[in-house]
Structure 1
C-alpha cells in the first residue's frame, strides 16, 4: 500500500494541465467518491494497527497534495473563477415591489397563534389519504349516509384513496401515534368535489382542533371556543352553540358569534339574524377513540373545525371566494399593509 501511495504521489506531482475538463477528470480520478484516494482509505481501515501508523501520514499527505494541485491548476487555468457581473452604477434604480402575505395565510397564522398560546401544538398530514383515516376511523362505515355529505375526489378511480375531505384525518394519525393527553390543531388544505361559485370552491383550508385527556367535558370545549372567539373577533364577542350532527362527535354543535346588524352587509352575511356561523364542534365519539387505540372509558375529548376562507372573507369583506385562488396581483396588493 505504501508503494501505491508513492506512485500516486509522483503522478500527482507530475500532472500539469490547463484544460478545465482534463483537470476535472483528474480530480474525479483521484478524489471522486469512487476515486483512487477514497479506495485507499477503504483499504486503510482494514489494516492492522501497527501498519496504520506507517501508512496514515503519507496517505493524508497524498490527499492534501492532490487537493492543492487541483486548486492550483484551476486557478491558473481560470476554471474556478466565477463570472463577474458589471453594473452601470449611473443607471437609475428600479422599484422593488413589496410583497405581502395571502389573506388565507394571514387568517390561518392568527388562528394558529391563538391556540398555541393555550398549549395546542400543530400537526400536519398527507393530502392524499386512505379510506381508514379519512372516513372509517371517524365513524363513517361503508354504507353510512354521512359519507354522502362528503363529495370526494378519488385518486385514479380507486375508492380506497382520495384527496382528504377534512383535516380530521390528521387527528386520527395523531391519536394513533400519541398517547393522551393530546392537545393539537391541524391546519391544512382540503378538497371536495363541489361546484365552484362565489361562495364555495373545490379547494379550501381548515383548522381543526383536538383535545384528549381524562375528565374532559363539554364545558371545557365551550370555554376554549369562547377564548378563541374573544381573541380573534374582539373581547366583547358573544358566542352560542346550536345542536348539530357530525359522525365523529357526540354531542355535536355549531358555534355562532354575534356579528351584529349595523349595516346592510351585516344583514346579508348573517341572513338578518346578527349571528354568524363560524365552526362545528363536539365531544369526540367514543367509537373514534376506540378506533384509534384510546380507551374511551378512561379518556374523553373534544374536537372542533373551522373553514379559513369563510373567516378571511368576513374579515376582509371579500365578496367572491374565487379571488382567493386566482393569484391576481391587483387583488393581493391590497394586503401589503396586513401583518
Structure 2
C-alpha cells in the first residue's frame, strides 16, 4: 500500500502541473482526494493490514494528502494571478484621461424660498419655530378662536385621523404652542414654516398638501402700523425694492382686525395687466392683529399684551417670484424643472 500511495502522489502532482485552468485543478482534487478517490480506497483497506503496518500506511496517506493539497493551492494561486494579469493587460486604463464629473444636486426651490424668507425675518429679529404635522382639534381650531361647529371651519376642509386628531390645516398651532410654552410670558417674535394639508382639488393653483410660513409677534403696544412695516420690509427684500403693498379689510377668526395683503404687480408696475387681472395688485398673504381670545388661550393677558400674525403660502411666493404657472410642478420630481433652480 505504501508503494500505491507513492504512485498516486506522483500521478496527482503531474496532473496538477499540467492543469491550465482552475476547473482542471478542481477535477484533480475530486479525482484523488474525494470520497470515491483512490487514496480513500487505500485507507478503507487498512483493516486488512497488521497492527504494525497500519500506522505507517496512515502516516503516509496523510503526507500524500497534505502534499497534493498544498500543490493544488499553490497552482490555483498561480493561475489566478496569471488570469488577473491577462485581464489587466486587456483592460488597461488610461490614467491621463479626465475624470467623469459627478452631477451634484441642488436645493428644491421650495426649500430655497423657505431659507430666503427665514433669512429676511431673522434679520428683523424673528426666530424659527416648528411643531407637529399631526395636530389635535384643540390646537388647530379651538385655540385659534374656531370652536366646534364654527362656520369658518368649512374654509379649511380637513383630513381627520380620529375625532380629535387631524393633519394640520395651517401652521398657526405652532403659534399657540409657543405662547403656552412661554412660561415667563415674555415677548414673542417667531416665524413658523412647515407642511400643511387641506382637502383641496389638485389643479394649477391648489394642492392637498402645500407649504406655509406664518409669523407671530406678541408684545406690549403692538399696532397695525408695526404689522405693515414688517410686511413691507419683507416684500421689498424678497420681491425687490420697487414693490409696494396694500392692506384690504378681510376676516379671519384668529385676528381682529384682519387684512388681505397685496403687492404691486411686477409685470405692469401697477398699471394693470392680465397677470393682475387689470387691478395692478396681486394677493400674497393674510394678516391681522391677534384676537384677544387667542392671546388669552395662549396664556397672555389681552389687556396687557397685543400682537400681530400673518401667513403666506411658500408655493405662491415661489410662483410669483419665478413666474411658475402650475403648483404641481413642485411635486412631480421632474429634473428638467428642478434643474432651473440650480444656485450655481
- The TM-score with structure 1 as length reference comes to 0.70
Q: Match of 1:209, SS?
A: strand
Residue aligning to 2:264: 258
Q: Does 1:217 align with 2:241?
A: no
For residues 88 and 161 of structure 1, do their structure 2 counterparts lie closer, same or farther at Cα, with a shift above 3 Å needed?
Answer: farther
Residue aligning to 2:320: 314
For the aligned residue pairs, the C-alpha RMSD in angstroms reads 1.9
Residue aligning to 1:165: 169
Of 126, 129, 132 in structure 2, the residue corresponding to residue 123 of structure 1 is: 129
User: Following TM superposition, where does structure 1 have runs of at least 4 consecutive aligned residues deviating by more than 2 angstroms?
Assistant: 86-95, 260-263, 266-269
Q: Match of 1:267, SS?
A: coil
Q: Which has the larger radius of gyration?
A: 2
Residue aligning to 2:289: 283
Residue aligning to 1:176: 180
Q: Deviations over 1:101-130 (max 9, x none)?
A: 111111111111000001000000000000
Q: Match of 1:282, SS?
A: strand
1:98, 1:336 within 8 Å by CA — same for their partners in 2?
no
2:201, 2:208 within 8 Å by CA — same for their partners in 1?
yes
Distance 1:184 1:192 in 2: 24
For residues 141 and 89 of structure 1, do their structure 2 counterparts lie closer, same or farther at Cα, with a shift above 3 Å needed?
Answer: farther
Residue segments in structure 1 that go unaligned for 5+ positions in a row: 1-85
Distance 1:167 1:275 in 2: 26
2:239, 2:321 within 8 Å by CA — same for their partners in 1?
no
Residue aligning to 2:192: 186
2:169, 2:196 within 8 Å by CA — same for their partners in 1?
yes
Residue aligning to 2:336: 330
Matches within 5 A, 1:61-100: 90=95, 93-100=99-106
Distance 1:99 1:310 in 2: 24
Distance 1:211 1:217 in 2: 10
1:289, 1:295 within 8 Å by CA — same for their partners in 2?
yes
Residue 269 of structure 1 deviates from its aligned partner by 2.8
- The TM-score with structure 2 as length reference comes to 0.69
Residue 147 of structure 1 deviates from its aligned partner by 0.6
Q: Does 1:102 align with 2:138?
A: no
Residue aligning to 2:49: none
Residue 260 of structure 1 deviates from its aligned partner by 4.3
Q: Match of 2:275, SS?
A: helix
Q: Deviations over 1:43-62 (max 9, x none)?
A: xxxxxxxxxxxxxxxxxxxx
Q: Match of 2:146, SS?
A: coil
Residue aligning to 1:46: none
Residue segments in structure 2 that go unaligned for 5+ positions in a row: 1-87
Distance 1:267 1:260 in 2: 10
Distance 1:88 1:180 in 2: 68
Residue 93 of structure 1 deviates from its aligned partner by 2.7
Residue aligning to 2:201: 195
1:103, 1:312 within 8 Å by CA — same for their partners in 2?
yes
1:261, 1:272 within 8 Å by CA — same for their partners in 2?
no
